[in-house]
Amino acid sequence: MNFKLLLSTTFIASSLLATAQNAGNAYAITGSNNNKFLWNNIKQVDLATGTVVKTLFEADATSYKMSYADGSKSLNTQDAKPTVFGVAAAALDARHNRLYFAPMHLSEIRYLDLDNANASFTVVKQNIIGASATYQNEENHLTRMVIAADGYGYAITNDANHLIRFTTGKKVVVEDLGALVDAESNKTISVHNKCTSWGGDIVADAFGKIVIVSANHNVFSVDVNSKIATYDGAITGLPATFTTNASAVNNEGNMIVGSAVVFDGLFKVNVKSLAATKIENTENQFNASDLANANFLSQKEFNSKNKFNATPPQLYTDVISGGSRVYPNPVTNSEFKVLFDDLNVGTYTITVTDLTGRIILNKTANIAAKVQAEKVQLKSTLAKGMYLVKVSDTNQKLMFTERIVVQ
């Protein structure tokens, strides 16, 4: 039991520390100066200054290795080119230090191993949209991607008729959740409209939503459970020719956007007013079809609302200090167990809340042994998504907090 707990807490420690270490890193999919519309180079960039830190992969110059995740296939000529026809969707998986991406025209997901000094790519899933269609039409191109606060990766097609969700562990599971639904308030600005809403990128907020920034500057908030997309407004202050193809979140919680079609650098967007200001940069500008990093929108508000410490390493300390665990996680069949290990015998309260702090369940646990597991039964009607499990003693001292995903 203690050995299993040690493995679990070590995994949590490594994943959260990896998130902390990657918080300042951002990655861009860029074109070459002589072919700005073929976005197949990968660079590490500094969002604060709008400068390139280093080039990780240059399509015509960098040697690389390609493989399939299951090791079952030999690579054909098309697969053997990592970024193939160009890339417009990428997401940073800080837990495993991978840059996931989707090649344009192909219905598949790949990743670049950022821990490998040599460029090492893996094809993890093919034929995501339509098993019979190798070369996808424009509406089915995966052009937006992010790793959200619930730990899942999400990707959206141009026409928003396919919201793709995928896991990022050893065995990748990919689901097509179906089409996004326009909120009634959207009126004439539909998330499906080609002129207003195709292309662009997505970022995630700390409360579990994802945010679409379309190529035409329009912003939508998406509830991944209901799939309802709500129009929030349009970004202002950008040059007329500047399309918003790339977006990420800086350390201050604002959005950073880039364009795939012009070499005009990066702009910072105030998330409340949606007003953009240019990030001044005297170095050579780059275009970007996608930006990716590990930051979330509304992180400070989330920390304050849930009384979390602001940094992931401190959250990691809270998790391991109580010696408790929640399993299975993700939660299936509407039940999970909380493992009490090396806590004093006595009475504890297990509280389940949603990410806004609304209490879903309170349960009293009478712990009479040094190692004891307490079962928690959730209502079968509880919506899928991310929740918080908190364990406190009779003095209301918080002993343990962990995020869970209910499937």
Distance, in Å, from the CA atom of 221 to the CA atom of 181, rounded to the nearest integer, reads: 11
Closest CA to 323 of 360, 373, 357, 364: 373
DSSP output for 79-123: TTSTTTT-EEEEEEETTTTEEEEEETTB--EEEEETT-SSEEEEE
Asked if residue 361 and residue 261 are part of one domain, the reply reads no
CB 79 within 8 A of CB 135: no
Compute the average pLDDT of residues 270-299: 92
Query: For the domain that residue 379 is a member of, what is the CATH number?
Result: 2.60.40.1930
Is 6 inside a domain boundary? Answer: no
From 261, 276, 294, the end of a domain falls on 294
Same domain assignment for residues 251 and 193: yes
Cα separation, 322 vs 328, in Å, equals: 18
pLDDT of residue 10: 36
Q: How far apart are CA 343 and CA 320, in angstroms?
A: 12
Enclosing H/E stretch for 70: none
Radius of gyration of the chain (CA): 22
- Report the predicted TM-score, pTM, of the whole model to 2 decimal places: 0.72
Residue 331 pLDDT > 50, yes or no?
yes
CATH number (domain holding residue 262): 2.120.10
The answer to whether residue 181 sits within a structural domain is: yes
Give yes or no: residues 313 and 175 share one domain.
no
Check whether residue 288 and residue 316 sit in a common domain.
no
Backbone angles phi, psi at 194, to 5 degrees: -65, -40
Choose the final residue of a domain: 247, 264, 294: 294
Q: Is residue 189 part of a domain?
A: yes
Dihedral sign (CA 50, 53, 56, 57):
positive
Q: Does 31 fall in a domain? A: yes
Q: What is the mean pLDDT of residues 305-326?
A: 42
End-to-end CA distance of the chain: 26
Q: Are residues 321 and 290 in the same domain?
A: no
Statement to judge: residues 319 and 257 lie in one domain: no
Query: Quick one: how many helices (H) and strands (E) in the chain?
Result: 4, 29
Contact indicator for 157, 137 with CB cutoff of 8 Å: no
State the average pLDDT over residues 81-91.
91
In a domain, 39, yes or no: yes
Burial 83-115 (b: 16+ CB within 10 A, else e): bbebbbbbbbbbbbbbbbbbbbbbbbbbbbbbe
Is the pLDDT score of 26 beyond 60? yes
129 with 216, same domain: the answer is yes
User: What pLDDT, on a 0 to 100 scale, did the predictor assign at position 144?
Assistant: 97
Residues 186 and 249 placed together within one structural domain of the fold: yes
**pLDDT above 70 coverage of the chain, percent:** 85
**pLDDT of 381-399, one tens digit each?**
898 888 889 998 988 888 8
- Rounded mean pLDDT of 141-156? 93
Residue 109 located in a structural domain = yes
Q: What is the mean pLDDT of residues 308-317?
A: 34
Calculate ∠ Cα 109-111-113, nearest 5°: 170
Report for 81-90, 249-258, 353-362: range of highest mean pLDDT: 249-258
pLDDT band (50, 70, 90) for residue 9: very low
In a domain, 341, yes or no: yes
What element of type H or E holds 12?
helix 2-22
Residues 128 and 272 in one domain: yes
Q: At 367, is the secondary structure helix, strand, or coil? A: strand
* C-alpha–C-alpha distance, residues 397 and 366, integer Å: 16
Residue 8: per-residue pLDDT = 35
Q: Look at residue 13 and tell me if it is in a domain.
A: no
3-state secondary structure of 290: strand
CA 258 to CA 246: how far, in whole Å? Answer: 5
Q: Are residues 233 and 129 in the same domain?
A: yes
How do the residues of the chain divide into helix, strand and coil, expressed in percent and rounded to 5? Answer: 10, 40, 45
**pLDDT for residue 34:** 57
Which residue range forms the structural domain that includes residue 158?
24-294
> In 3-state terms, what secondary structure has residue 310?
coil
For the segment 335-368, what is each residue's pLDDT rounded down to a tens digit?
998 888 767 888 999 999 987 778 999 999 998 8
Claim to verify: residue 142 and residue 162 sit in the same structural domain: yes
The 3-state DSSP class for residue 47 equals: coil
Examine the fold and report which residue of 265, 294, 323 is the final residue of a domain before the chain moves on: 294
Residues 207 and 339 in one domain: no
The per-residue pLDDT for 71 is: 72
Number of domains the chain is built from: 2
Averaged pLDDT, 1-14: 34
Output b/e per residue, 266-282; b: 16+ Cβ within 10 A.
bbbbbbeebebeebeee
